[in-house]
Amino acid sequence: MRIAYVCADPGIPVFGQKGCSIHVQEVIRAFRHQGATVDLFAVRWGDHPPADLADVKVHPLPPVPKGDTALREQVALASNPDLQIELAVNGPFDLIYERYALWSYSAMKFAQAQGIPGLLEVNAPLIAEQATHRGLVHREQAEQVADLAFNAARGIVAVSAEIKAYLSRWGITDKVRVIPNGVNHHRFVEALSPAIAPDPATFTVGFVGSLKPWHGLSHLVDAFAQLRQQVPQARLLIVGDGPERDALTTDLAQRDLLPWTHLTGAVSPEQIPSLLASMDVAVAPYPADLDFYFSPLKVVEYLAAGLPVVASDIGQLAHLITHGETGWLCPPGDAVALTAALAHLERSPELRQRLGTAGRQYILAHHTWDTVAEQILAMAFGPAAPEHPKSSPRDRRIPLPEGQG
């Protein structure tokens, strides 16, 4: 089986260390575990590939220049013919699998024209996300591209129920399947050695992430400050780096919490398991005022590591964690409730052990990347999918290169 994996998003370095980068790498690994040969088509590469992916055949797509937003958008849109040519020249393929990108439609159109499965993985409502956080000039064209890609795909993988609901606004329902993100269970074996020497006298609260504004770090600091008043031996371990690091450090310093906090900075994925083994409890303190469509990798990794997890009762997390059985849920953005949960778990080592064990068993049974790949391949090669309508009249409104309309 030959699979073409396509990532035409210039914001994703496919061999980088961002969460989206790890996601790409893990899906490719999982396909390979299923016996497939994977060719990778991407715009941005990042670091050198991990050793176990060094033999993946790679096909660079035209780079998108930095700078002027309108120009970037038009260059990315104009790259669609190049992608089709690359797929045609390097085929044939049994499956085209693409991570949805704002300006990419030709991979799904190519699969449709070739009569082979084309599956589109949707991780976020990219149009709204781009307009809100980074700026979007040609919004109507982005909507037309989405319409083209969504309709041409034989099936769509939505990483959360919230993404499926988003797709329903486009009239896309029957061919969407919710497949949440998984975990590489090969990395999370039992009895890992902690990266930081354990101290039985301390209680370590841990967080892993790219320190983005929507991660709820201010709520975490509020809760940690309150926890320290009840549990003087509490420590905070923050793994990762990102745009909120300076604000986070300032907040911790102003509260005189830096002496009790360890910030690792950016780390490689290989270091994550042993850092998780250095924690007594792990948190995902997402705020309340959030359009929560995520499928957080951090939480499935927390659970796979056998940690008791305290997470906001929001979005997919409310379905992933059963309160009091496989983890602990708190009202989102509620630092008081988060403090109470952490204090309760500090006083209850037996509960921590029970939650950690049950959470790990659940994740390894239902949410590994191998399971994700099996579900994706069943979508592609299971019972024949129904015929989908041909491209809508909106196809013709995009100023596409000749022959690509």
Q: What is the CATH number of the domain that holds 109?
A: 3.40.50.2000
DSSP string, 97-145: EEE--TT--HHHHHHHHHTS-EEEEE-S-HHHHHHHHT--S-HHHHHHH
Q: Is the dihedral of CA 9, 13, 14, 19 positive or negative?
A: negative
Q: Is the pLDDT of residue 163 over 50?
A: yes
Amino acid identity at 129: E
Task: Specify if 21 maps to a domain.
Answer: yes
- Average pLDDT, whole number, for the chain? 91
Are 110 and 224 in a shared domain? no
Those residues with Cβ within 8 angstroms of residue 183's Cβ, 6 or more apart along the chain or in another chain: 297, 300, 301, 303, 304, 363, 364, 367, 368, 369
Position 375 scores a pLDDT of: 96
209 and 168 together in one domain: no
Question: According to the model, what pLDDT value does residue 404 have?
Answer: 42
Question: Both 255 and 295 in a single domain?
Answer: yes
The boundaries of the domain holding residue 75 are 2-182+369-397
132 and 228 belong to one structural domain: no
- 399 pLDDT band, cuts 50/70/90, is very low
pLDDT of residue 388: 37
Report CA-CA distances (Å) from 50 to 21, 127, 192, 217, 319: 12, 31, 21, 30, 32
Average pLDDT in the 21-37 region?
96
Give per-residue pLDDT as tens, 224-265: 999 999 999 999 999 999 999 999 999 999 999 999 999 999
Please check whether residues 82 and 149 belong to one and the same domain: yes
Residue 197 domain flag: no
Tens-digit pLDDT profile for residues 360-380:
999 999 999 999 999 999 999
Q: How far apart are CA 198 and CA 278, in angstroms?
A: 7
Does 214 reside within a domain?
A: yes
Question: Whole-angstrom Cα distance, residue 327 to residue 303?
Answer: 8
Tell me, what's the pLDDT at 396? 35
Tokens at 389, concatenated: 């309508």
- The 3-state secondary structure of 355-385 reads HHHHHHHHHHHHCEHHHHHHHHHHHHHCCCC
CA separation for the pair 142, 77 (Å, rounded):
9
pLDDT attached to residue 394 = 38
Q: Is 60 exceeded by the pLDDT of residue 397?
A: no
The confidence score (pLDDT) of residue 181 equals 94
352 lies in the same domain as 208: yes
Question: Per-residue DSSP letters for 145-212?
Answer: HHHHHHHH-SEEEESSHHHHHHHHTTT--TTEEE----B-TTT--SSPPPSS---TT-EEEEEES---
Range 133-140 average pLDDT: 90
17 pLDDT more than 90:
no
**Preceding amide of 60 cis, omega within 30:** no
Together in a domain, 360 and 374:
no
Residue 138 lies in a domain: yes
Whether 387 and 337 share a structural domain: no
